[in-house]
Amino acid sequence: MASATASAAASAADPDGIIAIDDRGLILCCNTAAAELFDRPAQQLIGQPFGFPLVPEPPTRIELLRTGGTPVAVDMLLTATTPGDMRLHIATLRDITRRRRAEEGLRAALEHQQVIVGVAAHELHGPLFKLRTMVNTLRTPGSVLSGKQRDEAIDRIGDTTVVLESLLRKLLLATRIDVGAASFAQIVPLHAFLLERLRELGEKAERVHLDCPERLAVLADPGELAAMVDDYLDNAFAHGLPPVEVCATGQNGWIELRVCDRGPGVPETFVPHLFQRFSRPPHHPPGVGGAGLGLWIVAAFAEANGGRAWHEPNPGGGSCFCLRLTRAAI
C-alpha cells in the first residue's frame, strides 16, 4: 500500500524528474524522467540513498553526476507530504542543462556582436575621415584644384566607397554566420558563375587567368559561393601580385577551386591563423583595408556547404587559396 502510494506521488504527469523518498532518506520510487536524469534504470535507484538533505526549501540548483561522470545542471524543489500514515519527501528535478547551454550560446553571440561593433567603429573611422576630407576639399568655395586634381579626388572617393562597401558586406556576413542562418544549396554551373564574378572586377579581370571546364557544376548556396570566391580574389589582389590564376577541377564527387597569386606568400608562422576571426598578418600593409573577417567567412561558408577551405604555398611563389565543395551533375 505504501509503495503504491509512493508510486502515485512520483508518477505525476510531469516532464520533470519526480522522486519519492522516505524518512530514512532512501528512494522509494521515481518516474522515467528522473531515471533518465541519473542515466540509470529506476530499479537501480530504488532503495539507494537520495544523497541530499531532506529539508523543504525554495528551488536549489545542484549538479548530478551521470554515469561516466557527465554533470547535469538541475533545479531541485523538495516538498513533504503525508499520504495516509506515511511521511514522504518529494523531490522535483528540472533539467536546466539545455537552458544553460542556450544562455551560454546567447552570451557568446552577444560578445561576438560587441566585438563586431567595436571592429566596425575602428575600421570605418579611417575611410569615413578620408571621405569627409576629400568631399570638404571639393566643396570648399574658392578651392583651387586643377581638373586633374579634381578627377583624382573623385577617384579616391570612389575607391574609399568600395572599401567601405566591402567592409560592411563582411560585417553583415559575419552577423549572419553568428545567428546561424541556413544555407540553401543549388546546382551552380561553375564556368558561367566564375565569369560573372570576374566581370565584377572590372579592369582587374584582365590580370586573371581562368581555367574551368564548361560543364563543371557545384552544389552550394550561390550567395555564399560568391562571397567565398570574391574574398579569395580580393585577397589575391590586396596581398599578392598578378598574374592571378583561378583553376577549377572535378574529382571523386568534389570540385576543387584554387585562386593563386605570385606575391610574397604568407609567413609560415601566420598560416595557422589565416582562417581565424579578426586575424591579420603581423605586418599588415598600410592602406590595405580589412577587419580580418574575410577568410574566416570563407571557412564558415565552406563548412556550411559541406566542404572546406585551406591555404597552400604556390610552387612558383605566392599563395594558393583553395576550396573543396560538392560536385553536381548537369
pLDDT, position 149? 82
* Every domain of the chain and the residues it spans: 2-95, 98-181, 182-330
CA distances for 142 relative to 130, 132, 145, angstroms? 21, 18, 9
One of 1.10.3470, 1.10.150, 1.10.287, 2.60.120 is the CATH number of 98-181, namely: 1.10.287
Q: Are 35 and 62 in contact, with CB atoms under 8 Å apart? A: no
pLDDT at 116: 64
Q: What is the pLDDT of residue 121?
A: 67
What pLDDT was estimated at residue 302?
94
Cell of 311: 591555404
Q: Contact, 270 vs 196, CB < 8 A?
A: no
Instruction: Say what the pLDDT of residue 115 is.
Output: 64
In this structure, the number of other CB atoms found within 10 A of the CB of residue 32 comes to 12
Name residue 38's amino acid: F
Residues whose CB falls within 8 Å of the CB of residue 53, separated by 6 or more in sequence, listed in order: none
Question: What pLDDT is recorded for position 142?
Answer: 67
CATH number of 182-330: 3.30.565.10
pLDDT-flagged residues of the chain (< 50): 1-2, 4-13, 286-289
DSSP classification of residue 26: B
SS3 (DSSP) at 43: helix
pLDDT at 207: 93
E strands in the chain:
17-21, 27-30, 57-65, 71-81, 88-95, 186-189, 208-211, 217-220, 244-251, 254-260, 308-313, 319-328
Quick one: CA torsion of 293, 298, 299, 304, rounded to 10 degrees? 120
User: 33 and 15 in contact (C-beta within 8 Å)?
Assistant: yes
Name the CATH superfamily for 2-95: PAS domain (3.30.450.20)
Longest dimension (CA), the chain: 104
